[in-house]
Chains A and B, each alone.
Chain A
Amino acid sequence: MSTHREKLRIADLHAFYGESHILHGIDMHVMQGELVTLLGRNGSGRSTTLRAIMNMVGRRTGSININGTETIGLPAHKIAHLGLGYCPEERGIFSSLNVEENLLLPPPVRSDGMSVEELYEMFPNLYERRYSQGTRLSGGEQQMLALARILRSGANILLLDEITEGLAPVIVQKLGEVLVKLKERGLTILLVEQNFRFAAPIADRHYVMEHGHIVEEVQADELEAKTELLNTYLGV
């Protein structure tokens, strides 16, 4: 039973790569079952925010509370076990593993992950190519694999970095359907997106980032009123 409706709360988060100070005091939160996006131009610090949550940056300060647990002092390998699944921007499919090995790689972080059968049903391409080398898959298939493997681990807070980048419209549409399905199952999703048209219809809330700051928070129902503002931030 989950008494923490708030799945993720970040306060005054700073992140550094060596000497470069990338995030300058991020404050944000994500509620259970919410789909929240991080929007912003290239280099605004969206990927770094996700990486900081996973403790994959050089150094980080502030507070990151996941499911009621403060994680700022936690070693990287303990963080996923709070129910987090991370899908990196570069997808991170392992070339020394075949598709099925990639799928089975992440250890379970919660008990009720999706079964391999269920995932193969959701992504039939992966089943057909389950013995191929992971990196031989097409970009879209690799993206599905990157998503499928964290669903199998049972993660119920997903951090997804630009999952639609460079993919054909049909695949983007398919990924959109999958995200809606996951949302219906009650999963919590923090989505970094460049493709605003993909994110707008499925997201509950948006944060806009610029130069390592959060400069705007937009509710789904304010989108229309704030279109102009968003356009200036995103430079579209």
Chain B
Amino acid sequence: MATFLGINLFGLFGQLLVGLINGSFYALLSLGLAIIFGLLKIINFAQGAMYMLGAFAAWLALNYLGINYWAALVVVPLVVGLVGVLMERFLIRPIANEDHLYSLLLTFGFALMLQGLFTHMYGSSGLSYSIPEALSGGTKLPFMYLPDYRAWIICASVVVCGLTWWMIEKTKLGAYLRAGTENPQLMQAFGINVPLIVTLTFGFGVALAGLAGVMAAPIYSVTPDMGSNLLIVVFAIVVIGGMGSIGGAILTGLGMGVIEGLTKYFYPEASNTVIFLVMVIVLLLKPAGLFGKEA
């Protein structure tokens, strides 16, 4: 067995890979949350449910409509995004002027309903979704075996997050979004339909969760509570990265996945709590988060 300074390299790289995979999902989910928080100033507690919805939609699409994984990668985010658009338009907007606590509770309730609905229809034991044929192989690297599907997840997540970052930070559309985050009233005065941008942004943020759900279906079991389990960690990540910081959400998502993986190797007992420990430390030292702007 390959060891270095007493470290089992196979074990270490294995956990690093698991960490990167988890981090890829953290990044996609926290990115969606950060985008929504930036413009709407609301915390979307339904983000986890949308991830779950994405995974179920992929499963349903395959089993009832014969839509394969690759098509689902496109179709499911659109469908989940549409659910987000309707949710913003008909649930969140009517209470937009109330205390944000209401929208928080509303999205939380919506998530519970959705989760209850799927538990009722499909039970809680989980459905399985097989890895697409083209990605069922793997590559042998020094110290580890890298399954193609896992490599694909990491690459796809990095590309999607990178493109989203580029769109927000470097394009005209992104300038509308950034400016709308800063001063929506003035944007309206310039003739920009801010409510429409808000709706589409919410839809996009939610669609990212739907995409993550499709990508997760083949490696995690598809269960109604898959989203709620993940969401707590994702919230911690958004807080660590800094509320509303786009780059921060992405980097922190990947980084926390890796830290979690390393902890699993060096001190497994702490692997479920390490992210929250980091959160506490960051909040104490830098209350606005690693990449957040100090108020």
Give residues of chain A (49-81) contacting chain B, Cβ–Cβ below 8 Å.
Answer: 54-56, 75-81
Q: Kindly report which residue of chain A lies nearest to residue B191, judged by CB atoms.
A: A80
Distance, CA A218 to CA B188, complexed state (A): 33
B193/A94 in contact, CB under 8 A: no
Main secondary structure of the interface of A (DSSP, over half): loop
B190/A80 in contact, CB under 8 A: yes
B35 smallest CB distance to A (angstroms): 14
B188/A107 in contact, CB under 8 A: no
Asked whether B275 is an interface residue with its Cβ less than 8 Å from the other chain, the reply is no
A77/B193 in contact, CB under 8 A: yes
Distance, CA A92 to CA B188, complexed state (A): 12
Asked whether A219 is an interface residue with its Cβ less than 8 Å from the other chain, the reply is no
Partner of B182, one of A79, A86, A96, A106: A96
With contacts A94-B178, A96-B178 taken as known, whether A107 is within 8 angstroms of B192 at the C-beta atoms is yes
B179/A79 in contact, CB under 8 A: no
With contacts A101-B175, A104-B172, A105-B175 taken as known, whether A153 is within 8 angstroms of B182 at the C-beta atoms is no
B176 smallest CB distance to A (angstroms): 8
Most A CB atoms within 10 A — which of B172, B179, B181? B179
A96/B191 in contact, CB under 8 A: no
Partner of A81, one of B172, B179, B187, B191: B191
Distance, CA A185 to CA B239, complexed state (A): 52
Distance, CA A55 to CA B185, complexed state (A): 10
A56/B185 in contact, CB under 8 A: yes
Question: Which A residues are in CB contact (< 8 Å) with B178?
Answer: 94, 96-97
A106/B183 in contact, CB under 8 A: no
Partner of A79, one of B172, B175, B191: B191
Distance, CA A76 to CA B189, complexed state (A): 6
Q: Kindly report which residue of chain B lies nearest to residue A96, judged by CB atoms.
A: B178
Distance, CA A153 to CA B189, complexed state (A): 12
B287 smallest CB distance to A (angstroms): 20
Give residues of chain A (75-93) contacting chain B, Cβ–Cβ below 8 Å.
Answer: 75-81, 86, 88, 92
B142 smallest CB distance to A (angstroms): 44
Question: Which B residues are in CB contact (< 8 Å) with A173?
Answer: none
Asked whether A109 is an interface residue with its Cβ less than 8 Å from the other chain, the reply is yes
Distance, CA A95 to CA B179, complexed state (A): 8
Question: Which A residues are in CB contact (< 8 Å) with B183?
Answer: 92, 94
B179/A107 in contact, CB under 8 A: no
Distance, CA A79 to CA B179, complexed state (A): 19
Distance, CA A86 to CA B186, complexed state (A): 9
With contacts A96-B182, A97-B175, A97-B178 taken as known, whether A79 is within 8 angstroms of B192 at the C-beta atoms is no
Q: 1/0 contact trace for B160-195 toward A, CB 8 Å?
A: 000000000000100110110111011111111111
Give residues of chain B (176-225) contacting chain A, Cβ–Cβ below 8 Å.
Answer: 176, 178-179, 181-183, 185-195
Distance, CA A99 to CA B186, complexed state (A): 17
B185 smallest CB distance to A (angstroms): 6
With contacts A92-B183, A92-B186, A94-B183 taken as known, whether A77 is within 8 angstroms of B175 at the C-beta atoms is no
Question: Which A residues are in CB contact (< 8 Å) with B176?
Answer: 105
Distance, CA A94 to CA B177, complexed state (A): 11
Question: Which B residues are in CB contact (< 8 Å) with A109?
Answer: 191
Distance, CA A78 to CA B172, complexed state (A): 20
Question: Which B residues are in CB contact (< 8 Å) with A86?
Answer: 186, 189-190
Partner of A107, one of B181, B182, B191, B194: B191
Distance, CA A146 to CA B178, complexed state (A): 17
Q: Kindly report which residue of chain A lies nearest to residue B179, judged by CB atoms.
A: A94
A107/B175 in contact, CB under 8 A: no
With contacts A56-B185, A92-B186, A104-B172 taken as known, whether A97 is within 8 angstroms of B179 at the C-beta atoms is yes
With contacts A94-B179, A104-B172, A105-B179 taken as known, whether A77 is within 8 angstroms of B194 at the C-beta atoms is yes
Can you list 9 contacts pairing A with B, beta carbon distance less than 8 Å? A76-B189, A77-B191, A79-B191, A94-B179, A95-B182, A96-B179, A105-B179, A105-B190, A107-B191
Beyond known contacts A77-B191, A92-B186, A105-B176: 12 more, CB 8 A cutoff: A54-B189, A56-B185, A75-B188, A77-B192, A81-B191, A88-B189, A94-B179, A96-B179, A96-B182, A97-B175, A104-B172, A153-B191
Could you list which residues of chain A lie within 8 angstroms of chain B, going by C-beta atoms? 54-56, 75-81, 86, 88, 92, 94-97, 101, 104-107, 109, 150, 153
Q: Which A-B residue pairs are the 4 nearest by beta carbons?
A: A80-B191, A76-B188, A106-B190, A96-B178
